Amino acid sequence: MAAKSNTKAAKAKGNKTAEPEKLDRKVYETELRKLQIELCQLQEWVKAEGKRVIIILEGRDTAGKSGLIRVIKERVSNRVFRVVALGSPTEDRRAKLFMQRYIEQFPVAGEVVIFDRSWYNRAGVERVLGLTDEKSVGDFLENVSKFERWVTASGIILIKLWLEIGQQEQERRLRKRIDDPMRQWKLSPMDLKSFPKWYDYSRARDEMLEVSDHEAAPWYVLPSDDKKRARLNGITHILSRVPYEKVKYERPELPKRSTKKRYDDRLDGGKVRFVPALF
């Protein structure tokens, strides 16, 4: 569904990779609307069939996970699409099994759960920042595919996306967070600690993708330097991984309003407080 991408001529002689043109906003909004309609149809199928779907979004800081989640959830119900973004575990959480805090968030029938980072924290953030030991990482990587096969065998549709951002684009976005008052809340101490460890993250990413890619729940990499293209491609991919069908819409008729006990029900400004009309 996404529009065909055009390319610019290479800027310098010998440049083998042409940069994609920026996606026109009108094209983006038109294609996004089509995809959001499909997401609504997927939602109705999930509800009608009692299906359970998990979408895992992983990637470096600023890779675009939040933006993708925002456009996925923009037109669907919060009662069907639920986002899980777990913070650092409290003391009582640390006493539980590592996977337990994630399993507790799994979808019930008729629900889609989006993990904004997931159990793969163990092989990524925790590993790179030294928040866990290498033995724990090794145990995780050895067993995660078995766990996911069990998850999918139980009937859950599991979709895994790694959002891939380049060094220069990540730095540009981080600097924007520093300077923009409306983005400063997005900048966490973890972002600053992670920034110098680019190649540590790359090695962790490479091993994670290699070890935990399997038929029941394969990894797909979503290039995300261009936010608009990433969102369209990401939603298109998610839709392709769920075998949904359009549920017949029974168009309802609005019933007539009763005029029984009718009265002038306009609120009296002398008896209630109205919000000041400043605009």
Give domain limits for the chain: 25-240
Could you give the C-alpha distances from 207 to 62, 64, 118, 189, 202, in angstroms and in order?
A: 21, 22, 16, 25, 9
- Write down the pLDDT at residue 95: 62
- Write down the pLDDT at residue 89: 64
Q: Residue 195's CB: how many other CB atoms inside 10 A?
A: 15
Angle CA 163–103–127, to nearest 5:
50
- Write down the pLDDT at residue 147: 97
- Write down the pLDDT at residue 96: 76
- Write down the pLDDT at residue 119: 97
- Write down the pLDDT at residue 93: 61
Angle CA 54–84–208, to nearest 5:
65
Alpha carbon distance 133, 183 (integer Å): 33
Q: Which helix (H) or strand (E) holds 83?
A: strand 81-84
Query: In tens digits, what is the pLDDT along the chain, a chain of 279 residues?
Result: 444 444 444 444 444 445 557 889 999 999 999 999 999 999 999 999 999 999 999 999 999 999 999 999 999 999 999 999 998 766 666 667 899 999 999 999 999 999 999 999 999 999 999 999 999 999 999 999 999 999 999 999 999 999 999 999 999 999 999 999 999 999 988 889 999 999 999 999 999 999 999 999 999 999 999 999 999 999 999 999 999 999 999 999 999 999 999 999 999 999 999 999 999
Domain 25-240 belongs to what architecture? Answer: 3-Layer(aba) Sandwich (3.40)
Alpha carbon distance 59, 63 (integer Å): 6
Alpha carbon distance 89, 190 (integer Å): 15
User: How would you class 55 by CB atoms within 10 Å of its CB: exposed for 0-12, middle for 13-18, buried for 19 or more?
Assistant: buried
- Write down the pLDDT at residue 87: 81
pTM here? 0.88
